[in-house]
Amino acid sequence: MSSAINETKNKPDARAEALVASYERAGYGRIAPAILQPAEPFLDLSGEDIRKRMYLTTAPGGGDFCLRPDLTIPVSRDYLASRSAGKAAGFCYLGPVFRHRTDGPAEFLQAGIESFGRPDKAAADAEMLALGLEATAHYGLGAPEIQLGDVALFAALIAALDLAPAWKRRLIKDFNRKANLAQDLNRLVLGTTNGQPEYQGVLAALAGSDPKGAHALVTDLLSIAGINAVGGRSVGEIADRFLEQAALGAGSKLPREQRALIEKFLAISGEPDEAAAELRALASDTGMALNPALDLFESRTGFLAARGIDVRRIHFSTSFGRGFDYYTGFVFELTDAKARDAGPLVAGGRYDGLLTRLGAPAPIPAVGFSVWIERLSAMGGAS
């Protein structure tokens, strides 16, 4: 009886179908990726929050699979396997995703759009936010709160610092996990690492070794020990993290004035135009090369205004991230001011690096968003 109720509850209703039909009319082809997906892309490329909530299984003949926890990676994989791969193409979807949750059923509906291959990044970003706002309006919320961030600005700041490459990668990866980022900054200032003492000799030996050979050695040792995955991470990712610890322990130290610069950057927030002016001033005062990322940011704001969006309603913060490892630029969330604790109603962003990590031979621009149908449907006043 309960399974029948859940099946009815999670079946797309007329309003959700109408929303996706509007995306089809806007030029996005409807797509329905397989529910059962290879687990490795999600383990390697999603954020920690997704990894710990996945439903995993192992096939009798070997190979780890999962019920799809979101649709960005499945749609991206289907795009790369299609004749459209490498070309400009856009897709929309509506279907169930699966995550361990304590505040709702493990199976719930998401709709959304993924756009690939468009070189006009600022215009594509603005279109995603505009279409996301259409989704909330479709469910009766005409003026949601708009939270916007830009991972590319933080990446540009870190790229300009005199740090070891491993530390730069670590700081950018931890941008979406604020507690980890704060810990990293503390370790850099103090010049300390948090590796276990019993591993320090191994880490020191690996620090100066050939990266490919070291990765192969650690992977082989894990396989010999019969380790296939730990904490939702693949053997390859475990090896990467072990080698990263070796590189991070190689002696980098962040001057306190550089930490102060990072913290000053992360404190900038407000309306997009005001934030851009503060960022321009910071770049000018410090001589840091933030201009390409800032140019894209300001161009995006212009396209948002051209689409009729009141940019004064947008709250931008340099510290805002979404907890997904694959985001590389613009990120946003739309929430109901009356129910902020319920989570975002619509959320997404730019993930230009994801397609190459999924096997594309060359980088492909990509941006998209997901719509939480259950949250929109549950809003007060929605009918």
Q: Round to whole Å and give the CA distance between 269 and 332.
A: 14
Question: pLDDT tens for residues 250-260?
Answer: 555 677 888 88
pLDDT of residue 173: 79
Q: Residue 95 forms beta bridges with which residues?
A: 110
Written as six digits, the tokens of 10 are 């999670």
CA distance linking residue 257 with residue 292, whole number of Å: 24
- pTM comes to 0.81
Q: What does the pLDDT average to over 340-357?
A: 94
pLDDT band at residue 4, thresholds of 50, 70 and 90? very low
Task: Give the chain's mean pLDDT.
Answer: 84
Task: For the chain, give the percent of residues with pLDDT over 90.
Answer: 56
DSSP summary character for residue 211: H
pLDDT value, residue 308: 95
Alpha helices (H) in the chain, listed in sequence order: 2-9, 14-25, 40-45, 48-51, 72-80, 121-138, 151-159, 165-173, 178-190, 200-207, 211-224, 235-248, 256-266, 272-286, 291-306, 354-357, 373-378
Separation of alpha carbons 191 and 74, rounded Å? 41
Tens-place pLDDT, residues 160-180: 888 777 778 878 877 877 667
For the range 258-264, what are the long-range contacts, defined as Cβ-Cβ under 8 Å and sequence gap of 24 or more? 258/161, 258/162, 259/185, 259/188, 259/189, 261/157, 261/286, 262/157, 262/158, 262/161, 262/185, 263/185
The pLDDT confidence band at residue 220, using thresholds 50, 70 and 90, is low
* Residue 226 confidence (pLDDT): 60
What domains does the chain contain, in order, with CATH numbers? 2-157+261-378 (3.30.930.10), 165-248 (no CATH)
> In this model, does residue 306 exceed pLDDT 50?
yes
> Residue 195's pLDDT is what?
46
Q: What is the pLDDT of residues 278-304, one digit of tens each?
A: 999 999 888 888 889 999 999 999 999
Tell me what pLDDT residue 166 has.
Answer: 75
Pick from 25-29, 236-240, 288-292: least confident? 236-240
Give the model's pLDDT for residue 253: 65
Residues 197-210: what's their mean pLDDT? 51
208 three-class SS:
coil
